[in-house]
């Protein structure tokens, strides 16, 4: 797997809490206060090499000025398998709650969605291998490190993944501007999967056909669509609300 750099204090700190191998930690010279000091201490406890470099070196490694004084060199992201997601839900004695992203190509949206999904207790996120954003340093940073705690599964075919989830007893709810029902009027409890399309194209035709129900978020203003990560957050927390009411 190709090595990559994780940048930013929170993403690196979250990375240090996991079992992922950090090959080397680069820290800006003179940056030894606050969370940076905590990062350095944790890295030394884990016998990770810490190299102190100039700010320009960090900017070059990160290909960005938003590194906040720390960059971690790690191996490529380990994608989960569908079984990993299902077993995680089973281990927590919870009904599976999965998000499928159909054609989300913006890494900032992917990171934001993963962050919300992790905060809301979702068990996994599924993305296609082609025509989709993959996990990179932007996703690490945008997710504030949540990607290290979320099972992200990359599949060759979204429709096949949906069929597999149906066989496992999940209900598939697709978000679509022309959905026949408003999202909060549906019972979003039990084993469930939310399917979100891209901002420009929405759900692809085949994916839309595979969904059990298409739901919509009411649009009352002059703008006809929401940012994909915002729309996903609304739906995710409706699932959370209904599940909490059911307890």
Three-state DSSP class for residue 84: helix
DSSP-derived 3-state class of residue 7: strand
Dump the DSSP string for 213-240: EEEE----SS-----HHHHHHHHHHHHH
Given a cut of 50, whether residue 1 has pLDDT beyond it is no
In this structure, the chain runs to a length of: 247
User: Tokens 């759900």 identify what position?
Assistant: 203
Phi–psi pair at 65, nearest 5 degrees: -90, 0
Which CATH superfamily, name and number, covers 4-74? Ribosomal protein L30/S12 (3.30.1330.30)
Question: pLDDT tens-digit profile of 3-35?
Answer: 688 888 988 888 888 767 788 899 998 876 788
- C-alpha 150: how far from its chain's center? 7
Q: Crossing angle, helix 107-119 and helix 228-246, to 10 degrees?
A: 10
Shared fold status for 4-74 and 82-246: no
Residues 128-154: tens digit of each pLDDT: 988 888 888 788 888 988 998 999 999
Mean pLDDT of the chain: 90
Tens of pLDDT, residue by residue over 186-245, are 999 999 999 999 877 889 999 999 999 999 999 888 877 788 999 999 999 999 999 999
Query: Which pairing describes strands 4-7 and 70-74: parallel, antiparallel, or unpaired?
Result: antiparallel
Domain spans in the chain, listed from the N-terminal domain onward: 4-74, 82-246
pLDDT confidence band for 2 (50 / 70 / 90)? low
Percentage, residues of the chain above pLDDT 90: 55
Whether CATH 3.40.1280.10 fits 82-246: yes
């Amino acid at each position: 797997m190709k090595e990559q750099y994780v940048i930013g204090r929170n993403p690196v700190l979250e990375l240090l809490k996991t079992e992922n191998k950090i090959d080397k930690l680069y820290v800006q010279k003179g940056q030894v206060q606050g969370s940076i000091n905590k990062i350095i201490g944790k890295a030394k406890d884990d016998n990770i090499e810490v190299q102190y470099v100039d700010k320009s070196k960090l900017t070059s490694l990160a290909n960005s000025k938003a590194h906040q004084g720390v960059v971690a060199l790690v191996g490529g992201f380990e994608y989960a398998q569908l079984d990993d997601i299902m077993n995680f839900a089973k281990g927590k004695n919870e009904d599976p709650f999965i998000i499928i992203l159909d054609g989300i190509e913006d890494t900032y949206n992917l990171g934001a969605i993963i962050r919300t999904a992790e905060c809301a207790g979702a068990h996994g996120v599924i993305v296609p291998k082609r025509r989709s954003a993959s996990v990179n340093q932007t996703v690490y940073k945008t997710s504030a490190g949540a990607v290290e705690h979320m099972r992200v599964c990359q599949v060759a075919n979204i429709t096949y993944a949906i069929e597999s989830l149906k066989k496992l007893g999940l209900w598939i709810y697709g978000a679509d501007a022309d959905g026949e029902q408003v999202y909060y009027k549906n019972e979003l409890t039990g084993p469930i999967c939310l399917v979100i399309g891209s901002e420009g194209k929405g759900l692809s035709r085949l994916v839309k056909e595979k969904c059990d129900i298409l739901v919509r978020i009411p649009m009352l203003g002059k703008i006809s669509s929401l940012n994909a990560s915002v729309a996903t957050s609304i739906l995710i927390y409706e699932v959370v609300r209904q599940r909490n009411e059911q307890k």
